[in-house]
Structure 1
Amino acid sequence: MIDRRNFLKLGVVGGGAVFMSGLFQTVAATPRDDFFFVQLSDSHWGYKGPANPDAAHTLHQAVAQVNGLEVRPDFIVFTGDLTHTTDDPVERRRRMTQFKEIVAALNVKQVHFLPGEHDASLDQGAAFQELFGPTHYSFDHKGVHFIALDNVSDPGARVGEPQLAWLKSDLATQRPDARIVVLTHRPLFDLEPKWDWATRDGEQAIALLMPYPNVTVFYGHIHQENHHMTGHIAHHSAKSLIFPLPAPGSQEKRTPLPWDPTMPNKGLGFREVDALARPAAYQMTEFPIGRG
């Protein structure tokens, strides 16, 4: 058991809310250990604009804060939009190389990367694969099966039939009561399709996951917290490391919220995710970037 805090107490940490949700309905008999990981998302390295005049430093701040956590996380996941979009393939690779050099300072044994549409949609993930590896994959950690899905390399915002077939095959290797975490960039459900906050064949991925009672999805893309249920499957979005976006459907266009020089990091952050073996659940702790 990780003993760095009382896991079952709801509270506020560093200005961010802590959520407790009973996401797993069953606990397998095999003993499992508690662990925790960190989710970061949407750093958009290479962005220059009024939504974050301090964009050259925000990612560095996040790395320093994660390295300053009381206990080192088991691993870190970046759920997409590592870099800001560019039509220039040379510049795209330069930004990815710079991003990779910055996050290499993270004091953790393992980092998992997913692409966002800013990283992958213009070249179907070619540059991302050169620098970071496959755009979809799975791995296991202390009794939890993690599945990274790519719903961005297809410029039509689809997972696609080949990857859906791979997902079906991957899930077939799991026990019916397996603890499964899905990592992706876009939401798999229709959050706000007119803002590109959806996956066109996401319902097919969800249908493949639905027979498994212990599934949770963590994603990025929308630059804010959002918590949603599709049946028994919980979906949790992460804040951004570059600028916040408006609440779904709250205005005509999804333009970034205005930058506030008195609170330059307002709306930015990352999260810890505590995977608890008993009771089987996830506890999320939201951290703001810096003091803003």
Structure 2
Amino acid sequence: MSKPFDRRKFLKVSGMSLGVGALISVAPAMAGGGPSATLRRWFRRQNGEELTPFNLVQLSDAHVGFQGPPNPTGTKAFERAIDVVNGLDPQPDLILFTGDLTHEAEAPGEHAKRMQLFQTLTSRLKSKKVMYVPGEHDAALDNGVLYRQFFGETHYAFDHRGVHFIALDNVSSGKPAVGTEQIEWLKRDLARYPRTAPIIVFTHRPLFDLRPDWEWFTRDGDDVLNALAPYENVTILYGHIHRHDVHQTEHAMHYASRSLIFAFPDPMTAGDKKPVPFDKEKPFRNLGLQSLAEKKGRLDVDDVELTLREFGGTDGVQQILKSGESL
């Protein structure tokens, strides 16, 4: 029986990280069959795939439809991120989008238009395998009804190149919670896999108490982490906090991606949750994405901040803001 997870006893690893690795297979393959060899044989039997190198990208918090002083450039950072991803060589196997694809609108027709615009923008991606989970701005007002019409189920699981991926929904109930039904589904899903299986969970809110007074937590996150606790190689990707951050809880590494609209301050030092002021000289400052690569049983996670290339200074900002202008 696993030890229950205490959300108050987590280790903050780093607030900024380049190339931080989360081990997904500790032992090398050995002649005669060591732990890694056994793991690879098991996945080959289970789904026809062994653990092989792959790349993936995490995007988060585009908030398509948002308008306000923290970022007057609208979707331009999102478009810039698409260009960055399209420039990667090799192209990512998967793109995981961890919520707040859109900014909510009380009128369903307006919110649907924002979701349509989001889909139009993502259609520019060269890599077509894009997986989504909702954020509260996508799904909280109507319990995910409109989101499902555009993007499908809010929680699901799949295997890719020997790694088990789990999409969790901790927003569409209208509360910061996963819910009993989904947690029971998670337990059934995990029961099919050995404790050495490499697992990547992607969700919107942090599953631990990062800053509860800022709504940076999941009410029943302990139950999710307890379900995952027996598994040795767990990586959790999330968004919501609009900044890169790294934490460790038990066997799990938690990585938050930067947003694509505006940044929030460091929760460990800031008193108030106020967006970082817009910088006219560097309008994409603090915005970005995460690039992940599986290499010989190790998952390397890189924090990537967007750059302007030729767009810089006041003139560059005006060029970005031109109607119809794309980066």
Q: Do they fold alike, i.e. is TM over 0.5?
A: yes
What pairs up with 1:142-161 in 2 under 5 angstroms?
142-161=161-180
Task: For residues 205-226 of structure 1, give each alpha carbon's deviation from its aligned partner in whole angstroms, at most 9, with x where no partner exists.
Answer: 0000000111110101101111
**1:154 deviation in Å?**
1.6
What pairs up with 1:185-196 in 2 under 5 angstroms?
185-196=204-215
Q: Indicate the residue corresponding to 2:136 in structure 1.
A: 117
What pairs up with 1:128-139 in 2 under 5 angstroms?
128-139=147-158
Q: Indicate the residue corresponding to 1:178 in structure 2.
A: 197
SS at match of 2:75: helix
Taking the aligned partners of 2:245 and 2:125, their CA distance within structure 1 comes to 26
**1:253 deviation in Å?**
2.8
Identity %: 43
Structure 1 residue 284 and structure 2 residue 311: aligned? no
Q: What is the letter of the counterpart of residue 265 of structure 1?
A: F
What pairs up with 1:68-147 in 2 under 5 angstroms?
68-147=87-166
Q: What is the letter of the counterpart of residue 28 of structure 1?
A: S
**1:249 deviation in Å?**
4.6
Q: Given that residues 183 and 217 in structure 1 are in contact (C-alpha distance below 8 angstroms), is that contact kept between their aligned partners in structure 2?
A: yes
Q: Indicate the residue corresponding to 1:48 in structure 2.
A: 67
Q: Indicate the residue corresponding to 2:26 in structure 1.
A: 25
Q: Given that residues 244 and 303 in structure 2 are in contact (C-alpha distance below 8 angstroms), is that contact kept between their aligned partners in structure 1?
A: no
Taking the aligned partners of 1:68 and 1:259, their CA distance within structure 2 comes to 26
Q: Given that residues 23 and 234 in structure 1 are in contact (C-alpha distance below 8 angstroms), is that contact kept between their aligned partners in structure 2?
A: no
**1:28 deviation in Å?**
2.7
Give the counterpart of 2:265 among 242, 246, 262: 246
Q: What is the letter of the counterpart of residue 84 of structure 1?
A: H
Task: For residues 104-128 of structure 1, give each alpha carbon's deviation from its aligned partner in whole angstroms, at most 9, with x where no partner exists.
Answer: 1100131001100110111111111
Task: For residues 52-97 of structure 1, give each alpha carbon's deviation from its aligned partner in whole angstroms, at most 9, with x where no partner exists.
Answer: 1112322111111111112111011100000012222111111011
Larger-Rg structure = 2
Q: Given that residues 23 and 233 in structure 1 are in contact (C-alpha distance below 8 angstroms), is that contact kept between their aligned partners in structure 2?
A: no
Structure 1 residue 162 and structure 2 residue 201: aligned? no
**1:250 deviation in Å?**
3.0
SS at match of 1:153: coil
**1:20 deviation in Å?**
2.7
Provide structure 1 residue ranges, at least 5 long, that are not aligned to the other structure.
1-15
**1:22 deviation in Å?**
3.2
SS at match of 1:55: coil
Taking the aligned partners of 1:139 and 1:217, their CA distance within structure 2 comes to 15
Give the counterpart of 1:235 among 240, 251, 254: 254
Q: How large is the Cα RMSD of the aligned pairs?
A: 1.6
The count of corresponding residues between Structure 1 and Structure 2 is 276
Q: Indicate the residue corresponding to 1:200 in structure 2.
A: 219
Q: What is the letter of the counterpart of residue 278 of structure 2?
A: W
Q: What is the letter of the counterpart of residue 150 of structure 1?
A: D
Provide structure 2 residue ranges, at least 5 long, that are not aligned to the other structure.
1-16, 28-34, 41-49, 313-327
Q: Given that residues 24 and 215 in structure 1 are in contact (C-alpha distance below 8 angstroms), is that contact kept between their aligned partners in structure 2?
A: no
Q: What is the letter of the counterpart of residue 180 of structure 2?
A: E
TM-score, normalised to structure 2's length?
0.81
Task: For residues 1-47 of structure 1, give each alpha carbon's deviation from its aligned partner in whole angstroms, at most 9, with x where no partner exists.
Answer: xxxxxxxxxxxxxxx83323435435531252110101000000001
Q: Given that residues 179 and 215 in structure 1 are in contact (C-alpha distance below 8 angstroms), is that contact kept between their aligned partners in structure 2?
A: yes
Taking the aligned partners of 2:103 and 2:195, their CA distance within structure 1 comes to 39
TM-score, normalised to structure 1's length?
0.91
